[in-house]
Structure 1
Amino acid sequence: MRLLLGATCAAALVVSGMVIAPNAYAEADRTLTQNTTGTHNGYYFSFWKDSGNASMTLRADGRYSSQWGGGTNNWVGGKGWATGTRRTISYSGSYNPNGNSYLALYGWTRNPLIEYYVVENFGTYNPSSGATRMGSVTTDGSTYDIYRSQRVNAPSIDGTATFYQYWSVRQQKRTGGTITTANHFDAWARSGLNLGSNHSYQVLATEGYQSSGSSDITVWEGGGGNPGNPGNPGNPGDPGQSNCTAVLSAGTQFGDRFNLNVAVQNVSSWTVTLSLGGGQSLQNSWNASVSGTTGNITARPNGSGNTFGVTIMANGNWTWPTVTCRTP
């Protein structure tokens, strides 16, 4: 059973208007227990549940808190922006799921209709389970696995429809840091997953499905500390402020080996490390200086640009290696 943030509730999340900058208002806290959308303290918000006792309290600036109990079947809510874009988003707070739940940057596009997720944390169930793996991207301090799934005749922001879902699922869970949205959009495109031309909303959302838990999340635009709270430095433990990004995409697959393409973004001087799985070994490489044959192999520029490739002998292990990128 999988969580489908918005796929069960998207019909309730209708977007209108523009969201103005944070700190423009000082509205009182507001607790939501019924399905609704709107703006609060300059941020767009959405709240939906199908049953149970879930609630969400809208607080100062981009902050919201939520709680839900075991009697809740499915609920989702969060704060963000009425129109999604390639913005850099930061967030901080606490997230305490008991069971099936996740914390994700979530949005929609039209033309074509696409539902997308950047999953930062989750409970007992990975929401991309059963989806098709398309690649990975290393950004903001971790590798995210990229997946695609399809919903057929399912609820959407445009009623019942058939549409694709795009996923980036963070390998190292966290509750706080910076999400460079453009890096995910670009990595999806490199994997053949193109978003629509018309963006709908984009929120940092909490969801719970037949579970219980709580969250207290503050979201804002830009990197670093929360501009609405100068005493909050953000997440100093998050090493994700580096601009060095490495994106894996599939090459040709053979009976005993497979090719991978690696695209390095934002920097021209870089060191990329590929961590091969058990039994795997490097057979060949091109357009980079690569050292090592098993375990962790390292690639550096050799004058051939920022895209290189490797051939990996599978030896029965077809799992893609994890990839990290750093500047020297």
Structure 2
Amino acid sequence: MNDIPTTRRRRGRLRLLLGAACAAALVAGGLVIAPSAHAEADRTLTSNQTGTHNGYFFSFWKDSGSASMTLRENGRYSSQWSNNTNNWVGGKGWATGTRRTVSYSGTYNPGNNNTYLALYGWTRNQLIEYYVVENFGSYNPSSGAQRMGSVTTDGGVYDILRSQRVNAPSIDGTQTFWQYWSVRQQKRTGGTITTANHFDAWARAGMQLGSNHSYQVMATEGYQSNGSSDITVWEGGTGNPGPSPTGNPGNPGNPGQSNCTAVLSAGQQFGDRFNLNVSVQNVSNWTVTLSLGNGQSIQNSWNASVSGTSGTVTARPNGSGNNFGVTIMANGNWTWPTVTCRT
């Protein structure tokens, strides 16, 4: 397995700080309850802190420089940082992660810099660090990771990857653990993240999360860069329950979009071809489209009615269930096709 590049290893001290907050958080049904029924005033953080603000768990960490994060109404926070900051990360979310549907909206200005916007969390009782990366600047945070497949969900395609950290800092001290990644191919700043679809896709690729969830936050991070963000996060996919950063109604999170999900996983590989398995979830009447790369063609398929052999290939149910497979002649191109799913 490939380790994550050294520019990402700096995060160990952050994890120790964030992990310590979980034991002190007040939790009810996975949602942190604010100690007062009254709205809390805005707070600007410039030093490392964790806690609760207006009903949401928050974390802020930096190792140096002028990064700051302002906690605002409901699940909103804003941040800014400059090049004199080595590394910082912060965001709002929940002290306990789960299979919740997370929605967010706002602005994110990464420029051509090393920064990203992601739903981020940890599990224990298998120690796992996970990311659902929605947007990033010049640096793809999954670089150096092993590609395990892809998942189509919430209107986009995410690459599924994993990397292993050996004797590295974690929320439980120095450990060896896996990192799980879903990295969105079509960058965005706003929408709905159906967390369960990523958890299930990872599991189907042999990437099991632990049984004990730690925190889960919608985080902004910057490393030796400059940028800003203004993000509001909330639970559910039907609209922001509070004001958005512009004072307008929140992002509805594509409430009318189908939740059809197609997950790719690896099959056997041969000298001139490879097999892919496709698992369709949440619907039974589906159309899956595979966009093959240059030179690739379909040699064989099973458990679905497949139309076409090159370019855009379409698969539909044939009575054999929601799992099917294809054999792709590589012709020197071993890149997996992109996949989309619709009802």
TM over 0.5: yes
Amino acid at match of 1:312: I
Match of 1:306 among 309, 322, 328: 322
Distance 1:171 1:224, change over 3 A: same
1:66 pairs with one of 69, 76, 79: 79
Q: For 1:92-171, what aligned pairs fall within 5 Å after superposition?
A: 92-98=105-111, 99-171=113-185
Contact 2:76/2:233 (8 A) holds in 1: yes
Question: Greater CA deviation, 314-323 or 10-19?
Answer: 10-19
Deviation at 1:239, TM superposition (A): 8.3
Gaps of 5+ in 1: none
Please state if 1:232 is matched with 2:249: yes
- Separation in 2, partners of 1:87, 1:7: 26
2:339 to 302, 317, 323: 323
Identity within the alignment, %: 79
CA RMSD of superposed structures (Å): 1.7
- Alpha-carbon distance in structure 2 between the residues aligned to 1:145 and 1:25: 42
Q: Once the 2 structures are TM-superposed, how far is the Cα of residue 25 of structure 1 from its aligned partner?
A: 4.1
1:152 deviation in Å?
1.5
CA distance in 2, matches of 1:20, 1:281: 51
Pairwise CA distance, 1:3: 3.5
The structure 2 residue matched to 1:211, chosen from 225, 236, 252, is 225
For these two proteins, the number of residue pairs brought into alignment is 326
Question: Unaligned regions of 5+ residues in structure 2, if any?
Answer: none
- Distance of 1:281 and 1:313 partners within structure 2: 5
Cα gap change, 1:25 to 1:262, in 2 (>3 Å)? farther
Distance in 1 between residues matched to 2:269 and 2:189, nearest whole Å: 36
**Shift in Å, 1:155:** 1.4
Structure 1 residue 86 corresponds to structure 2 residue 103: no
Provide the C-alpha distance between the structure 1 equivalents of 2:267 and 2:199, rounded to a whole number of angstroms: 20
Whole-angstrom distance in 1 between the partners of 2:75 and 2:10: 20
Deviations 1:178-228 (CA, angstroms, capped at 9, x unpaired): 000000000000000000010000000000000000000000000021011
**For the Cα contact (< 8 Å) 2:241–2:250, is it kept in 1?**
no
Indicate if the aligned counterparts of 2:148 and 2:266 stay in contact, CA closer than 8 A. Answer: yes
Q: What SS does the corresponding residue of 2:140 show, helix, strand or coil?
A: coil
* TM-aligned CA deviation for residue 160 of structure 1: 1.5
The question of whether the paired residues in 1 share the 8 Å contact of 2:278 and 2:325 is answered with yes
224-233 vs 89-98, which moves further? 224-233
Q: 1:44 to 1:126 in 2, by over 3 A?
A: same
The TM-score with structure 1 as length reference comes to 0.96
The one-letter amino acid paired with 1:315 is N
